Structure 1
Amino acid sequence: MKYKGIIFDLDGTLVNSLEDISDAMNTVLTNLNYPTHTYDAYQYFIGSGLRNLVSKALPASNNSENEIEVCFENMIAEYREICTLKTKPYAGIVELLDNLVSRDIKLAVFSNKADELTKKIASEIFPNYFNTAVGLSSETLKKPNPFEALEISKNWNLKTEEIIFIGDSDIDMLTATNANMFPLGVSWGYRTEDELLASGAKLVINTPSDLIEIL
């Protein structure tokens, strides 16, 4: 099979955004005199969207829908200001993208991060690489719902089996499987190789350059 398109997850796959996300949420928690969390803890909060992260970060005694909504809005406001402050591409990612562009492989980003922020980070950190960067616009379209991935394949006029879906979490591997795309896990993100394989990864790579060997 000759792969003609690649859809990337964003956080934990293309960029290490852990510190910016954590700092924004911890600011919200501090302002409310709630306990904050370490970067290691936030590593397991990331993956199912920022609203879900807010719910996990709040104390169990202050986790009403209203509290989640207010804190989510405050977190987004904080994060919008700093979302590219410490966030950086993982080592080898830019070189990988250059290689893929030279091969005329179509590239897209599909994240559970808010659509506005997904587009902002993708365009500022990776200008000229991604014609399509899609984030979360509705909870019903959240990964592992494959809808957006399938829309990307239609826009590309490619069969789903011609597309690799790359991510660092179980959610990404389930999305790839649901979309009938090749589920490729990365070991440098926020989850373990065992978790990726258990959730459907056909292969887990350890460095961005490993992808070139697959192609």
Structure 2
Amino acid sequence: MDELRIVVFDVDGTLIDSEHNIVTAMTEAWAHMELGVPDPADVRRIIGLSLVEACQVLLPWAPGNLHRAVAESYKEAFRALRLLPEREEPLFPGVRAALEEMEAAGWLLGLATGKSLRGVHSMLDSHALHGRFVTIQTADDNPGKPNPGMLLRAAAETGVDVSRMVMIGDTAYDMQMARSAKVAGLGVSWGYHGLEELHEAGAALVVDSFENLADIAASLIGKPPCA
């Protein structure tokens, strides 16, 4: 029997296009806290971090209690957005086919995301993806990226060695997490950080589409992460 192998996906910027909703929710949170208006480019930069850590980056001068308050206000704003009929967080092109291809090739699938578990379940509901992922690691019960905890916990939960794991993500945080966990990192070009950043953070490869993903991921198995 072939040894188990797993591909772990980031969510925002990798599987779904959620930038508009994230920027809108953060803008509303800042308005609620009378902080002015955040630069959308700055908000884009922190997508992938856990929420309080994201607020720390956006508001480096603020005390911890304000970071936590902004994070709670953001959660409320995002919950309200989910109720709007026009709210969309579409899958990026090729995602569903890639998931089906990976499963057909015998890969286990997992998630490692800065989203809350509630947010992940909302995404799975919206796109009928429940049951696809054997391990779901979120910021609710793990250290935030780039700490390697999410990947190490995914390995422990599934019994898959980190040498048989590939992390797929769109940000430097994803690639740094993979490198710290000694996992091969595969970057995607359509997300929220640039190609050079992904390579510098340790991506073994950056792809422009999910075409032939099973073969590409298989080529990374057993290769040491980029230093």
> Cα 1:187–1:31, aligned 2, differ >3 Å: closer, same or farther?
same
Q: What root-mean-square deviation, in Å, do the aligned CA atoms of Structure 1 and Structure 2 show? A: 2.4
Query: What is the number of equivalent residue pairs in this alignment?
Result: 212
| Amino acid in the other structure paired with 2:10 | D
| Amino acid in the other structure paired with 2:131 | N
CA contact (8 A) 2:50 2:139 kept: yes
User: How much has 1:18 moved relative to structure 2?
Assistant: 0.7
Q: List per-residue Cα deviations over 1:35-92 (Å, max 9, x = no partner).
A: 22354332112222222333444595xx222222222111111112325822111111
> Cα 1:55–1:177, aligned 2, differ >3 Å: closer, same or farther?
closer
- Equivalent of 2:160, from 150, 154, 158? 158
Query: 2:7 maps to which residue?
Result: 6
| Amino acid in the other structure paired with 1:47 | G
Q: Superposed, which structure 2 residues align to 1:77-156 within 5 Å?
A: 77-83=76-82, 85-125=87-127, 126-138=129-141, 141-156=143-158
Q: How far apart in 2 are the matches of 1:34 and 1:49?
A: 20
Q: How far apart in 2 are the matches of 1:68 and 1:193?
A: 30
Q: What TM-score do the two structures reach when normalised by structure 2?
A: 0.83
Query: 1:31 maps to which residue?
Result: 32
CA contact (8 A) 1:166 1:172 kept: yes
Query: 2:223 maps to which residue?
Result: none
User: How much has 1:10 moved relative to structure 2?
Assistant: 1.0
User: How much has 1:96 moved relative to structure 2?
Assistant: 0.6
Q: Superposed, which structure 2 residues align to 1:19-58 within 5 Å?
A: 19-58=20-59
Moved more, 85-94 or 37-46: 37-46
> Cα 1:59–1:194, aligned 2, differ >3 Å: closer, same or farther?
closer
Query: 1:169 maps to which residue?
Result: 171
Partner SS, residue 130 of structure 1: coil
Q: How far apart in 2 are the matches of 1:74 and 1:117?
A: 15
Query: 1:182 maps to which residue?
Result: 184
> Cα 1:197–1:25, aligned 2, differ >3 Å: closer, same or farther?
same
Q: List per-residue Cα deviations over 1:152-173 (Å, max 9, x = no partner).
A: 2222222211111111111111
Partner SS, residue 35 of structure 2: coil
- Equivalent of 1:195, from 197, 202, 207? 197
User: How much has 1:114 moved relative to structure 2?
Assistant: 2.4
The share of aligned pairs that are identical, in percent, is 24
CA contact (8 A) 1:4 1:106 kept: yes
| Amino acid in the other structure paired with 1:13 | T
Moved more, 44-53 or 178-187: 44-53
Judging by fraction of residues, say which structure has more strand. 1
Q: What TM-score do the two structures reach when normalised by structure 1?
A: 0.87
| Runs of 4+ deviating beyond 6 Å | none
CA contact (8 A) 2:30 2:38 kept: no
Unaligned stretches of 5+ residues in structure 1: none
Q: How far apart in 1 are the matches of 2:137 and 2:80?
A: 20
